[in-house]
Amino acid sequence: MVLLGTGGCYSFKGISIPPEANTFYISELRSRVPGAPADLGQQFSENLKQKFLNQSRLNFVEIDPDIEFSGEITRFAVTSVAPQPGETTAFNRLEIGVRMKYVYHLDEEENWENSFSFYQDFSRDENLLDVQDGLITIIFQQLAEDIFNKAFTNW
């Protein structure tokens, strides 16, 4: 852990969290996307929570947090990619999109709302249900990284 003298912010692994922020809360994301697993919002919320617990000094609280995240799953779609002769495709793509709201209760000028999406390709010969859990895990890891970076590295 390294404390930088510039601006009094906490820095660790390139992140910058104001010293007065100690707690966070992530509400369960809503998901009304047709075809998505029923617990997709819950899965993502838990994944994001673990990311923050493991990679920041912030503590998770349900009452009166300094930083609060909320949002919804906005996309869960499988599309065919790379058309080939004979009306076939080379692979399929699972894309998941989320809309997140960040509220910093100690300085509301820092608040933001942003959309994030990521995808993972899989073979046209694979059944989505057979590979879906692994694809979701990979996509969630990247989405959590993007949201973490937006919140704590000012990218």
Cα(62)–Cα(16) distance, rounded to whole angstroms? Answer: 23
Structural domains present in the chain: 22-152 (3.30.160.150)
- At 71-104, the pLDDT tens digits run 999 999 999 886 666 666 678 999 999 999 999 9
Residue 23 and residue 67 in contact, taking contact as beta carbons nearer than 8 Å: yes
The answer on pLDDT for 10 being more than 70 is: no
Other beta carbons less than 10 A from residue 48's beta carbon = 22
**Rg of the chain on CA atoms, in Å:** 18
Q: Indicate the residue type of 50.
A: Q
- At 34-79, the pLDDT tens digits run 989 999 999 999 999 999 999 999 999 999 999 999 999 999 999 9
Residue 76 and residue 98 in contact, taking contact as beta carbons nearer than 8 Å: no
